[in-house]
Amino acid sequence: MILFQNLKNLSVLTLAGTEVNSEGVKNIANIPTLKILNLSWTKINDLALKYISLSKTVEVLSLNGNKISVSGLNQLTKMKSLKILSLEDIVFNSDLEDTLASIPRLKVVYLNKVSANPKSVKSLVNRIRWAAIYYEGVLQFPEE
């Protein structure tokens, strides 16, 4: 989309609930000042994550309610600035733990209404340097 190429000072972009698809977000990574990106309940898939992972500035990413996989999420391990990730209401076909643990600066993740292994989530809370994980309505903090 040429639209995104002209938004050089944009820091927050919310496309939640729109008809945007993976090709529609192709140039979002080129917005040099983008910090917060909400793509919840859109028509994106794993291809969009490949494009988004090229962003050097996005710190908060919401992907709630989309058809994405753990394999697609693996693209986000390239994001050096991502600190907060929301993955609510998503069905994953494999374990999230290793992929989420590999996102370098991730501090907070929201995993409400996801098909994640509770033992894996509990392990994840203590395994990496996050401030918190929100899982199934409960905010969990690492053990001291």
CA gap 43, 36 in Å, rounded: 19
Looking at the chain, the whole-number percentage of residues with pLDDT higher than 70 is 73
Compute the chain's Rg from CA coordinates.
Answer: 15
C-beta of residue 77 within 8 angstroms of C-beta of residue 102: yes
CB atoms within 10 A of CB 136: 12
In order, the DSSP letters of 8-49 are TT--EEE-TTS--BTGGGTTGGG-TT--EEE-TTSB--HHHH
Q: Which CATH class is domain 2-140?
A: alpha beta
CA dist 69 → 41, 48, 72 (Å): 15, 11, 5
What does the pLDDT look like over 14-69, one tens digit per residue? 999 999 999 989 888 889 999 999 999 999 999 999 999 999 999 999 999 999 99
Q: Which of helix, strand or coil describes residue 84?
A: strand
Domain residues of the chain, as ranges? Answer: 2-140
pLDDT class of 72 with cuts at 50, 70, 90: very high
Query: pTM value?
Result: 0.84
